[in-house]
Amino acid sequence: MFQTARSPAVRQLILMWLAWFIILFVYQAFVTSRLALSRPDFALQWTRAETDYGSQRNKPYLNEPFMNAQVSWDSEHYLSIAIGGYDDPAARRIVSPEGGPPVPPLQLNYAFFPLYPLLMRVVAAPLPLFGLTPTAAATLAGVIVSLAGTLAAMLALYDLVRERLSESGGQRAAFYLLVFPSGFFLAQVYSEGLFVGLAFGALALMKRERLLIAGALAALAVWTRAVGVALVLPLALAWLMRLRSRGLTSRSAVAGLAAALLPLVAYGLWNAALGEPFHIVEAYYFRRGALLVEWSLKAWQTTFALIGGANPQASAYYALEFGGMALALAACLLMLPRYPGPALFGLGALVIAFTSGVPQSMIRYVLVVPPLYILPAWLGRWPAFDRAWTTASLLWMGLLAALFSFDMWVG
C-alpha cells in the first residue's frame, strides 16, 4: 500500500511519530506534577459537577495510577468494555429522569462502538504477565492501539499527497495531524487514533483503486466510530470514476459497487446487534442523535451567543468549537477540486457532527477531516506559514493536553 519501510521518507515519519508520543507523554507527566489547576471547570453548564474535587470517585476505571494522564472522560467506557464487556456491572448506568418516561437501566458503555475496546482486550491479554492490573493492562493496550492507528494514518496521509506536494509535503501533512490542537487524543485511550488509521488508510487505497480492501477498512472504521459511514461517499465516487474511465464489465462493476456499500452494510450489522441500546443511551444521557437538523441549528444558535458572554471559560471553549468547525469546512471546500475523495469524506463527517445535537466535542470530531492537514501541507511550502501554523497548533495542543491530563473538559 505504501512505500517500503526502508524508504528514507517513511523512516522519517516513523521517527517523527516516535518522538511525538514520547514528548507528549513526558509533557503530560510533567504538567500534572508542576501545576495544580483550580477546580471546577465552568466551560459548560454540566462540567462543574463533573470536574469538582472528588468527582472521579465513582469512576473506578479512571483511578488507576498507571498512565493515568492518558485516561479521562470516554476512556472510562472503553476500559470498561475491554475488561468487563458492555454489561460490565462496574459501569455507570443511565437512570430515568424525574417526572419523565422510564428508561431501561442500560450501561453507558452502549454509546461506544466495539472495535476499539475489542482490540484493547486482545492486546491486553498477555500484559498481566508483566505484573499489571487489569485496568493498567487495558490502559496500556488502548494507548498501543491508538498509537498504531496514528502511525497508519500518518503513512496514509503521506501517500495521499506526496504525488502532488512531493515527499516533503506528505511529511508536512502527517506532522500537522500530530500537532493539530486536539491531536493529543491520538495517543490517549480514545478511539480517534484507530479510526483515522482505518479511514485514512481506506482513502489512500481508493487512490490506488484497491476498492475491495478500501471498503473492508471503511467497514472496520464504521465499527470504530459511527462517522465512518461517511466513507461511503468517497468509495462511491471512486467506483463511479473507475466505471466511467474504464468501461468495466458487469462483474467488476458489481464488485466495485459492493465494495462501495460495505460501510452501509457494516453500519446495518452493528445497528441490528447494538443499535437499540446505543440510541437510548445517546438520546437520554448524551442528548445526541443522527441528523437532528432543527434541534442542532437551535443549539448552535444558542451556544454561539455564549461567545463573548459573561463566562470567559465558556466563551473560550465555544470559540474553539466554532473555529474548528469553520476551519474544517473551509479546508474541505478548498481541497474539493484537488482531493475530492478526502474532501467528500470530510464534508460528510462535518454534516454528521453538526447535526448530532448539542455542539460539544467538535474540536475532537474534526480531527478525522483529512483536508485539515492537506491544505496546510500545501500552504506549508512557504516557511513562514509552516512556522506560524506549527507554533499556533502546538500552543493550543499544549493547553488542551494539559486540561485533559487534569480531567478537565476538552471535547
Cell matching residue 87:
454489561
pLDDT tier at 5, thresholds 50, 70, 90: low
pLDDT computed for residue 349 by the predictor: 98
C-alpha cell at position 277: 441500546
Split at pLDDT 50, 70, 90, the class of 249 is low
Dihedral sign computed on CA atoms, order 111, 116, 119, 124: negative
Q: What is the 3-state secondary structure (H, E, C) of 163-183?
A: HHHHHHHHHHHHHHHHHCCCH
The dihedral over CA atoms of 116, 278, 319, 192, expressed in degrees to the nearest 10, equals 10
Q: Which residues pair with 107 in a beta bridge?
A: 93
More confident call, 190 vs 55:
190
Residue 1 has pLDDT above 50, yes or no: no
Residue 355 CB-half CA count within 13 A? 12
Q: Could you give the C-alpha distances from 291 to 71, 199, 226, in angstroms and in order?
A: 30, 21, 12
pLDDT single digits (tens) 261-307: 999 999 999 999 999 999 999 998 998 998 899 999 999 999 998 89
Q: What percent of the chain has pLDDT over 70?
A: 96
> For residue range 104-140, what is the model confidence (pLDDT) as tens digits?
889 999 999 999 999 999 999 999 999 999 999 999 9
Q: What is the mean pLDDT of residues 8-15?
A: 93
* CA angle (283 as vertex; 106, 277 as ends), nearest 5: 35
Strands (DSSP E) contained in 46-144 are none
Q: Which pLDDT tens digit goes with each residue over 161-216? A: 999 999 999 999 999 999 999 999 999 999 999 999 999 999 999 999 899 999 99
Domain borders along the chain are 8-405
Whether 41 and 48 have beta carbons less than 8 Å apart is answered as yes
- Over the stretch 216-228, which tens digit does the pLDDT of each residue have? 999 999 999 999 9
Distance CA 19, CA 3 (A): 21
Distance CA 1, CA 206 (A): 11
- Tens digits of per-residue pLDDT, 368-407? 999 999 999 999 999 999 999 999 999 999 999 999 999 9
Is residue 170 a contact partner of residue 159, using CB atoms and an 8 Å limit? yes
